[in-house]
Structure 1
Amino acid sequence: MVADIPTTRDKILQAAAEITKEVGPVNLSLDAVAKRAGLSKGGLLYTFPTKAKLLEGLVEQHVSEFDQSLRREEASRNFGPNSVVLAVIAVYRAEFVCNEPEPSGILAAIANDPGFLEPIRRYNKQLLQRMRENAADPMLAMMVFLTIEGLRSLKLFEMNVLDRAEQIAAIDRLKNLFEPADPAPVETPAVA
Structure 2
Amino acid sequence: MQDPDVTHDTAPSRKADTRMRLLDAAEAVARRLGPGNLSLDAVAAEAGVSKGGLLYHFPSKSKLLEALVAHHLSRLDAALRAEEATGRPNAAITAYMDQFLQEAARQKPPASGLLAALAENPQLLDPIRARERDFLARIRADSTDPDFATVAFLVVHALRAMKMLDTEVLDEAEAQSMIGWLNRRLQDGDT
Contact kept? 1:15, 1:37, Cα under 8 Å: yes
2:92 matched to 1:81? no
What is the CA-CA distance between 1:163 and the residue it aligns to?
2.4
Question: After superposition, where does 1:1-12 map in structure 2 within 5 Å?
Answer: 7-12=17-22
> Aligned pairs, how many?
175
Q: 1:100 aligns with which of 106, 111, 119?
A: 106
Which runs of no fewer than 5 residues in structure 2 stay unpaired? 1-12
Q: Distance in 2 between matches of 1:169 and 1:115?
A: 34
Partner of 2:66: 56
Q: Distance in 1 between matches of 2:180 and 2:68?
A: 30
Contact kept? 1:58, 1:106, Cα under 8 Å: no
- 1:36-95 per-position Cα deviation (integer Å, ceiling 9, x unaligned): 2222222211111111001111111111122222333444xx223222122222332344
Partner of 2:40: 30
Give the SS at the match of 1:87: helix
Identity %: 43
Give the SS at the match of 2:59: coil
Question: After superposition, where does 1:8-157 map in structure 2 within 5 Å?
Answer: 8-75=18-85, 78-96=86-104, 99-101=105-107, 104=111, 106-107=114-115, 109-157=117-165
Partner of 1:190: none
Partner of 2:175: 167
Q: CA separation of 1:53/1:39 partners in 2, compared to 1, >3 Å: closer, same or farther?
A: same
Q: Distance in 2 between matches of 1:165 and 1:29?
A: 33
Q: Which amino acid aligns with 1:127?
A: F
Q: Distance in 2 between matches of 1:175 and 1:18?
A: 30
Q: Which amino acid aligns with 2:24?
A: Q
Q: Which amino acid aligns with 2:50?
A: S
Contact kept? 2:69, 2:124, Cα under 8 Å: yes
TM-score of the two chains, using structure 1 as the length reference: 0.79
Give the SS at the match of 2:188: coil
- 1:15-40 per-position Cα deviation (integer Å, ceiling 9, x unaligned): 22222222233332212222222222
Which runs of no fewer than 5 residues in structure 1 stay unpaired? 183-192
Larger % of helix: which? 2
